[in-house]
Amino acid sequence: MNVLELHNVHKNYGGPPVVQDVSLSIAAGQTVAIIGPNGAGKTTLFGVMAGEHRATKGSISLFGKDATRAGAQRLSHLGVARTFPVARYFLAKTVEQNLVIARDAHQSKYRNPVSRTPRSDEGIRTALRAVGLDELRHQPSNTLSHGDRKSLEIAMALTQNPAVLLLDEPTAGMGAEDIPRTIRLLKGLRESRPDLTIIITAHDMEVVFALADRVVLMANGRVALEGNPSAIRDDPLTREIYLGNSYEGDKQ
């Protein structure tokens, strides 16, 4: 079953297209990495998939239903959780409070103006342990290291029990010791939840080749290559794109 399908998706911001004619079908349980040089359109495509940006043309379906016009909030309730390239979280809150907010948002508790905000529960503690932040749970989140902030965002996504997890540069800026831990975490997550679909954008090829079942290489806003990680790695076009030689998507 395809969880997420993109049909001829275009996106522009009033100027030339940033993403053009992208079609993808992503099955349940797949881990797909979207790679490409800077300016290839990865983050914009990611934003379109996460509902942050609306596609200018084309359509998107989630679990077989049209989600082209669904915004980020709607998609979140449909089972899509995401992280950002620069970790976003609630600075004024502690680590644990951030997870409580994410859990409550997923459970639509924002409608409740009466009862006290519920505190942590076993699900939150499990997510904190999974990303290695258990001991820092009472620490103000604005005092975390860069790597821990990325981990916090992943933990917030996990508390939402997602069906699709969109990870935008999950290891960017992490320390050398944090990257293997994050890879282990995501591998463990895949093993324990085989239905979970993960879509990653990454510059770090170690992450891509350790995790991805399938790699989508983007250039000039288009899908240039698609296939299993070793095929993408060995393709001369990959080298050409990454080495900065001219590549015209239209040549395909």
Partner 1 sequence: MSVSVRNPAPPINAGPPFVTASSRSRFDLRPIYEPLIFLLVTTAAYFVMPPNMQYVLGIAVIYALLATSLGVLFGWTGIYTFGHAAFFGIGAYATALLKEQAWGPLAFLGMSALIAVIAAVLIGLIGQRLAKVEFAMLTMIVGQIAYLLTFRVPVLQGDNGIYSIPRGDVFGIDLTPPVSFWWYSIIVVAIVMGVLRRIHLSPFGESLNAIRDDAVKAAAIGIPVKSLRLAAFALAGGVAGLAGGLFAQQGSIVTPSTLSFTFSGQIIIMALLGGMMGFWGPALGAILFQFINALVFGNSTHGTLVLGIILLAVVMLFPSGVLGVFARLRDLLMRSRSRQ
Residues that bind partner 1 (CB under 8 A): 28, 50, 52, 62-63, 65-67, 69-74, 76-79, 81-82, 84, 88-93, 100-106, 108-123, 126-127, 130, 156, 158-164, 189, 192-196
Packing angle of the helix pair 95-106, 146-158 (nearest 10 deg): 30
Q: CB of 4: closest distance to partner 1 in angstroms? A: 12
Residue closer to partner 1, measured from CB, 28 or 183 = 28
Q: Which residue in this structure is represented by tokens 């200018």?
A: 56
Question: Closest Cα partner for 188 from 107, 129, 140, 115?
Answer: 129
CA 218 to CA 220: how far, in whole Å? 7
66 residue type, one letter: D
Task: State how far the Cα of 160 lies from the Cα of 77, in Å rounded to an integer.
Answer: 9
Which residue number, 39 or 71, has a Cβ lying nearer to partner 1? Answer: 71
| Contact indicator for 98, 159 with CB cutoff of 8 Å | no
Q: Which is nearer to partner 1, 39 or 118 (CB)?
A: 118
The two tokens of residue 101 are 């907010």
Minimum distance of partner 1 from residue 11's CB (angstroms): 17
With respect to partner 1, which residue has the nearer C-beta, 92 or 243? 92
Beta-carbon contacts of 39 under 8 Å, excluding residues fewer than 6 positions away, are: none
User: Would you say 67 or 136 has its CB closer to partner 1?
Assistant: 67
Shortest spacing between CB 134 and partner 1, in angstroms: 13
Q: 118-142 as b/e, with b when 16 or more CB fall inside 10 Å?
A: eeeeeebeebbebbbbeebbeeebe
Give the single-character DSSP code of 248: -
**Whole-number minimum distance, CB 92 to partner 1, in Å?**
6
The CB-of-69 to partner 1 minimum distance in angstroms stands at 7
Q: Which is nearer to partner 1, 40 or 163 (by Cβ)?
A: 163
Minimum distance, C-beta of residue 224 to partner 1, in the bound complex (Å): 28
Between residues 76 and 238, which has the closer beta carbon with respect to partner 1? 76
Helix (H, G, I), strand (E, B) or coil at 235: coil
Q: Which residues contact 243 (CB under 8 A, 6 or more apart)?
A: none
Least Å from the CB of residue 130 to partner 1: 7
